[in-house]
Amino acid sequence: MKRKFAYVAGILVLAGIFALPALSRADRPRLAAALSALQQAKAELEAAKPDKGGHRVAALQATNKAIAEVSAAIEYGRIHPGD
């Protein structure tokens, strides 16, 4: 189960990295949904114990980075609505 969360977090990070250049105004609801999913994944990772050789912590760090990137993309979209 914990591996699943780490896998999902990794996929979301990669999806966010590749999706950011193609964002448009219409995509902000999708970013909001992605942000919500990442926040849920973060909560699950924080609740999961033990650490499993550092992998849970690594997944949590990647999830935090993804949350920051998606939040930045949402803010960028607010400032640059046509971009």
Q: Taking the domains of the chain in order of start, what are their residue ranges?
A: 2-79
C-alpha pair distances (Å), 64 with each of 59, 81, 82: 9, 25, 27
- 3-class state of residue 65 by DSSP: helix
Q: What is the mean pLDDT of residues 9-31?
A: 64
Q: Which helix (H) or strand (E) holds 21?
A: none
pLDDT above 90 coverage of the chain, percent: 55
Please, what is the end-to-end C-alpha distance for the chain in angstroms? 38
Q: How many CB atoms lie within 10 A of CB 73?
A: 19
Mean pLDDT of the chain: 84
- Token representation of residue 10: 């990794």
The pLDDT tens digits for 46-65 are 999 888 899 999 999 999 99
| CB-based contact 57:51 (threshold 8 Å) | yes
